[in-house]
Amino acid sequence: MWIENARKILPAWAKNGGDQTDVVLASRARLARNLQDLSFPGHASEATMKEVLRRVEQAVNAIRADHSPLKLTRMEDLPLLERQILVEKHLVSPQHIERPQHRAVILNADESVSTMVNEEDHLRIQAILPGQQISEATAAADKMDDLLEERLDYAFHEEKGYLTACPTNTGTGMRVSVMVHLPALSMIDQTRRLLSALSQIGLNVRGIYGEGSEAYGDIYQISNQMSLGRTEEEILYNLQTACAQLVESERTARDAIVRDSKLQVEDKVWRAFGTLSQARLLTSEEALRLTSDVKLGTDLQIIPDMKSIYLKELLFVTSPGILQKIIGREMSPGERDQYRAMLVRDLVNPNK
């Protein structure tokens, strides 16, 4: 059955786990690190980038010998589709797959920790976990950082901290973020106001596919803007506090819409379910929008017995790359819309 195979492709954060999963889809921590005495990738020669990759590969081999399996994959060895899938799983950035030469990714077994080599910095260590697990994600990234630091010389300045290509990352080099689902705030038109308040307290708000992307399906990524001059603890505390407030606001908004416009919410949610159950053509944008409505319905217990429907799985299998991987061949956008609808029907009507 394709669903079983599809589950094997999904990264750790697509699975259940973590707190406040009604609002927080995933938590991410990222550390920017660079090797001493070598130019940042943006200004580095081919030789320098090769040298970075050589040293990192050596370190990874040493870690692998002592610890659980780590796998370094050079981007240029991957077919375009596989690279696209890494982006859809949020394991590498879209920029990282554009020019694959001398670039790589290091993954652990369940893909909860991924490290990009020669992206904007020599190393971008990232951990993503499901739900609200900001501390746990930070701990996982820190652990990977320790393993690498034991075997590599990092560029570090006594006062400034870790040196990075972009000055906003200097210091701890840490960026933490949460991916949140805010459908009720969106329904009562409060999202814009709240998110602009967040940016005033030093947090950055983006859509689901990163910088500049739209917030399809009312999914937002909230992260710290700066790490320079702040301790890890401060950065963590700021995001955790903001996240708790967002969760509280979204839950209050959900209570309000259920109280004031129950029927309208039920109608919206069931219509989305009806369309996902029956459509024969679905763009990824529409699938995401409808999945967002259905998830709200599940969280509000409007749609009962949704154990058999895996919302994050819906989100993943509708992504163009993963969809083509599941079906097993490249497809035109029109064909993808057809197969996407087919997979979604299977997931939504598990007994058919």
Task: Summarize as ranges the residues that interact with its own copies (CB under 8 A).
Answer: 263-264, 266-267, 270-271, 273-281, 338, 341
Q: Which is nearer to its own copies, 244 or 281 (CB)?
A: 281
CA 141 vs CA 96, 151, 268: distances in Å: 19, 16, 39
Burial of 90 (0-12, 13-18, 19+ CB in 10 A): buried
Q: What kind and span of H or E run contains 25?
A: strand 24-33
Q: Which is nearer to its own copies, 16 or 332 (CB)?
A: 332
Contact 127, 113 (CB under 8 A): yes
Q: Which is nearer to its own copies, 172 or 298 (CB)?
A: 298
Q: Which is nearer to its own copies, 248 or 267 (CB)?
A: 267
Q: Which is nearer to its own copies, 97 or 347 (CB)?
A: 347
Of 218, 336, 344, 322, the residue nearest 273 (C-alpha): 344
**CA end-to-end span of the chain:** 13
Contact 326, 2 (CB under 8 A): yes
Q: Which is nearer to its own copies, 205 or 294 (CB)?
A: 294
Phi first, then psi: give them for residue 2, nearest 5 degrees.
Answer: -60, -30
Residues 6+ apart with CB under 8 A from 131: 17, 18, 19, 20, 21, 24, 25, 26, 27
Q: Residue 238 CA to chain centroid, in angstroms? A: 20
Q: Which is nearer to its own copies, 51 or 335 (CB)?
A: 335
CA 2 vs CA 52, 61, 171, 306, 336: distances in Å: 39, 34, 46, 19, 16
Residues 6+ apart with CB under 8 A from 24: 18, 131, 132, 178, 179, 180, 181, 243, 247
